[in-house]
Amino acid sequence: MTNSEVAIGDFIVIKPGEKIPLDGKISEGSTLLDTSAITGESLPREVTVGDAVYSGSINKNGLFTIEVTKLFGESTVSKILDLVQNASSKKAPTEKFITKFARYYTPTVVTIAFVLAIVPPLVIPGASFSDWIYRALAFLVVSCPCALVISIPLGYFGGIGAASKNGILVKGSNYLEALTKVNTVVFDKTGTLTKGVFSVTKVQSILDSISKDDLLKTAAYAEYYSNHPIAKSIVVAFGAQNVNPEEIKEFDEKPGKGIKVKVDGLTILAGNAKFLESENIQVITADEMGTIVHISINHKYTGYIVISDEVKHDSQEAIRRLKSVGIAKIAMLTGDIESVGKKIARDLGIDEVFSELLPSQKVEKLEAISDKSRHQGKIAFVGDGINDAPVLARADVGISMGALGSDAAIEAADIVIMTDHPSKVADAILIARKTNWIVWQNIIFAFTVKVAVLVMSAGGVATLWEAVFADMGVALIAIFNSIRVLNYKENNGKK
């Protein structure tokens, strides 16, 4: 049975590791859901009977049944795809100078050359047709738009090539041109500025007799047999090969709460604050960003471990570089909770943050930002998940992370960063600006030389030799000038 054949009120059994096909409500069972692809929230969400679940979420460990509440066409994933298609149609196309130029230039110069060859001999006494036809031919040679027709596209191809050398794939020269006008950059959080994976970010022991390493070892032994993502991150941090399973006895896991286990004769409790307090163990309040696992040994509180989504090593550098190249405003949109969003924005120096957003709400926030900065420049959005696809499509320039990004995000984006480094966004902007400057150098140089020689040709001063130089010579110089963009050096923008 396909998704389109399922009706509202039908029941679907979701096994561990499966993706939820349709929006619904849990009627039986409980589990942990990975909702990062839909909401961008990095930590798994605990759900039980009565909770609503979104299509596209992944079941981490439990077996549960959902009652379908929305048809396929109204499901979250379907709406995301619809948003991508509708958002794409709203993007204003970048008008190319060469298109406008060619529309009027060629018929104009041919007409002038024809008039130059025919009219003067008829109205000027003593003028010969051979002399004025020669001038008209020189005029036609000079007016050939080769320098512009060749060098301008080549300049953009050079820019695209320079970007690809630096791990940035640009899907068209119009997007490269649009980058030069970007004044606001909006980031997704999970998977873009952060790694999107769980890891131990802090180990805090409150007893002098127990070191941080000992506390991490105790927690790893307690969590060894658990399939919970948080438990696995603790075991990985300590090293699974360093755990001796034979020492673990009486393993008892309370879903959504914690674990009670005996290791080498010691009773260990590892879990949330409520779990330890239910065992009459007083825990300290930890003001930390992330999931906190409290630890006790023989009913004595010993400390806690913080599990969170790590910020990428160059995210702060990415924000700094964007500001250094003149980006006026940097914002962040995330489906994660407000406290986490504000903490990361504050640490990285981001100007504005919007948290707890669904995909459709991200599009609304982007449009609100766009309305505020409409007269200041274009907006670029940087994201990686399927939940970012509508925003990538709606932005003036959509930039996706290609290394870890979803297929939907890469498809919707205009530019794809093939590494996992957000600092590449600054490189893309610098390459675009250098490309644009070189293209306009070619335009100004070609026009200046051609206009000068055109006037000289019409006046009979320039010969075919000057005309050939103004055509092919200028074209070659413009081509060599276009190649300079390939010398862009990563992370500095210098030649």
Query: What amino acid occupies position 76?
Result: T
Q: CB neighbours (10 Å) of residue 192?
A: 32
Active site residue ranges: 188
146, 151, 152, 153 alpha-carbon torsion, rounded to 10° = 100
- Tell how strand 168-170 and strand 415-417 pair up: antiparallel
Counting Cα atoms < 13 Å in the Cβ hemisphere of 48 gives 2
Q: CB neighbours (10 Å) of residue 249?
A: 11
CA nearest to 222, candidates 256, 251, 257, 265: 251
Burial of 5 (0-12, 13-18, 19+ CB in 10 A): exposed
Secondary structure letter of residue 240 according to DSSP: G
CA nearest to 152, candidates 93, 98, 99: 98
With left for phi above 0 and alpha for psi between -120 and 50, is residue 356 left, alpha or beta? Answer: left
Secondary structure letter of residue 57 according to DSSP: -
Tokens of 183: 């004044």
**Strands across the sheet with 52-53, in order?**
11-14, 64-68, 24-28, 52-53
CA nearest to 454, candidates 189, 145, 187, 199: 145
Per-residue buried b or exposed e for 19-48, using 16+ beta carbons within 10 Å of the residue's own CB: ebbbbbebeebbbbbbbbbbbbbbbbbebe
